[in-house]
């Protein structure tokens, strides 16, 4: 039995994995989907203003401590890739697998801000203009999304090298939004790195919603071909 810890991307909570969790549980695995500090419905303004990348890595580490997990698969979507990288580097060998689901894979000294494209930096800045500390969600999308702590997008990650000791490291590239994705160069970089396995899914960015069965199959180490029929048109993502 594996233990999965699912970390959402910007503006999202544990609900973003709601279609994937039961599929993993049905296969007999333990699953913990997180809502990060500053994105919980009852978080006050001070909590949102002070939450950063370290705060979010600590959210993961506290879960490992509280539940006595010693061999976790960390799955991070989008910004969540920053979080699982920081947590894995500090987890004292308790991480057996990392899955960056269309997510940032930072190197030491990088941030979400520095790793993304100018288009998204402009969106972050515009989204934080009202408060100066919380980035409002982009227009459209799930109404459960919440303003995201700006400091977590800006803080640089500090990696000691322990991340490279995680036995399995995987990157999932969602190819259905190639006109907007900030991950094309990252995919090329990781394809050339023998320490990483790169998968492709022909979905838009939110693969958990578009193709939960395919995402679950990938996490379970199964072939995803049969799960990729009857998908919505990814060009509309």
Over the stretch 51-63, which tens digit does the pLDDT of each residue have? 999 999 999 999 9
Res. 186: pLDDT tops 80: yes
CATH of the domain at 58: 3.40.50.1820
For the chain, give the mean pLDDT.
Answer: 95
pLDDT in tens, 76-106: 999 999 999 999 999 999 999 999 999 999 9
User: pLDDT tier at 234 (50, 70, 90 boundaries)?
Assistant: very low
The closest of 60, 67, 54 to 35, measured between CA atoms, is 60
C-alpha span between 59 and 146 (Å, rounded): 18
Q: CA–CA distance from 170 to each of 58, 73, 103, 162, 219 (Å)?
A: 22, 11, 10, 16, 10
Res. 235: pLDDT tops 50: no
Res. 194: pLDDT tops 90: yes
- What is the predicted pLDDT for the residue at 222? 84
The predicted model gives 116-138 an average pLDDT of 97
Backbone angles phi, psi at 41, to 5 degrees: -55, -30
- What is the predicted pLDDT for the residue at 231? 56
Domain count, the chain: 1
The predicted model gives 195-212 an average pLDDT of 98
Res. 224: pLDDT tops 80: no
Taking the model in full, what pTM does it have? 0.94
Could you list the beta-strand ranges (E) of the chain: 3-7, 30-33, 72-77, 95-101, 134-135, 148-149, 168-174, 197-201
pLDDT in tens, 144-169: 999 999 999 999 999 999 999 999 99
Res. 38: pLDDT tops 70: yes
- What is the predicted pLDDT for the residue at 225? 62
Res. 109: pLDDT tops 80: yes
Range of the domain at 203: 3-236
- What is the predicted pLDDT for the residue at 25? 98
């Amino acid at each position: 039995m594996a233990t999965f810890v699912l970390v959402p991307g910007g503006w999202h909570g544990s609900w973003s994995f709601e279609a994937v969790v039961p599929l993993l549980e049905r296969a007999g695995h333990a699953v913990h989907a997180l809502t990060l500090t500053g994105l919980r419905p009852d978080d006050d303004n001070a909590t949102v203003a002070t939450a950063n990348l370290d705060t979010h890595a600590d959210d993961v580490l506290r879960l490992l401590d509280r539940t006595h997990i010693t061999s976790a698969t960390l799955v991070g979507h989008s910004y969540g890739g920053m979080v699982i990288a920081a947590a894995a580097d500090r987890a004292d060998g308790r991480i057996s697998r990392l899955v960056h689901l269309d997510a940032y894979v930072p190197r030491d000294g990088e941030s979400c801000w520095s790793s993304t494209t100018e288009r998204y930096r402009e969106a972050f800045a515009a989204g934080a203009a009202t408060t100066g500390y919380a980035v409002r969600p982009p227009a459209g999308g799930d109404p459960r999304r919440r303003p995201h702590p700006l400091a977590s997008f800006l803080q640089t990650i500090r990696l000691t090298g322990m991340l490279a000791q995680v036995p399995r490291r995987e990157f999932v590239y969602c190819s259905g939004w190639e006109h907007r994705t900030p991950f094309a160069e990252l995919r090329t970089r990781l394809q050339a790195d023998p320490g990483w396995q790169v998968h492709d899914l022909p979905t838009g960015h939110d693969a958990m919603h578009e193709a939960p069965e395919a995402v679950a199959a990938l996490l379970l180490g199964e072939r995803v071909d049969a799960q990729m029929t009857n998908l919505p048109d990814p060009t509309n993502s």
